[in-house]
């Protein structure tokens, strides 16, 4: 929820807030599913679900927060050197979901072999 609040703060009213909230809401759903499969504990059903959730969370939250922070502080001219810098947020959810799915797959495979 803190990440979502940060996204709202950075993008303000003219951004793509709902679109950028989708990966974070999918992470919340995936976490709830992992807890349900584990019977209320993270490792109740083995390590597959916790590691897959972690594998999804790291690139999804990391990439999203990193680029929002870079936009906030104008890192390397993200805002000042661009004609339409807000378009970064139009495509960011696609990139974060793709990276999250790769991380989820890696976490699932590692959890299966543990």
Domain ranges for the chain: 18-113
pLDDT score for 85: 81
Type and span of the H or E element at 61: helix 48-73
Q: What are the mean pLDDT values of the chain's consecutive 10-residue runs (114 residues total)?
A: 90 83 94 92 88 96 93 88 85 95 96 86
pLDDT score for 80: 87
Helix, strand, coil shares, percent, the chain, to 5: 80, 0, 20
Indicate the pTM of the whole model: 0.87
pLDDT score for 15: 75
Contacts of 11-14 with C-beta under 8 Å, sequence gap 24+, read 11/68, 11/86, 11/89, 14/86
């Amino acid at each position: 929820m803190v990440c979502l609040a940060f996204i709202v703060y950075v993008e303000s009213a003219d951004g793509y807030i709902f679109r950028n909230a989708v990966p974070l809401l999918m992470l919340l759903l995936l976490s709830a599913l992992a807890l349900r499969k584990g019977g209320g504990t993270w490792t109740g059903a083995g390590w597959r679900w916790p590691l897959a959730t972690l594998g999804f969370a790291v690139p999804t939250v990391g990439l999203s927060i990193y680029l929002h922070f870079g936009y906030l502080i104008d890192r390397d001219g993200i805002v000042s050197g661009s004609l339409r810098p807000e378009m970064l947020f139009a495509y960011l959810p696609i990139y974060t979901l793709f990276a999250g799915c790769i991380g989820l797959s890696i976490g699932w495979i590692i959890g299966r072999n543990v």
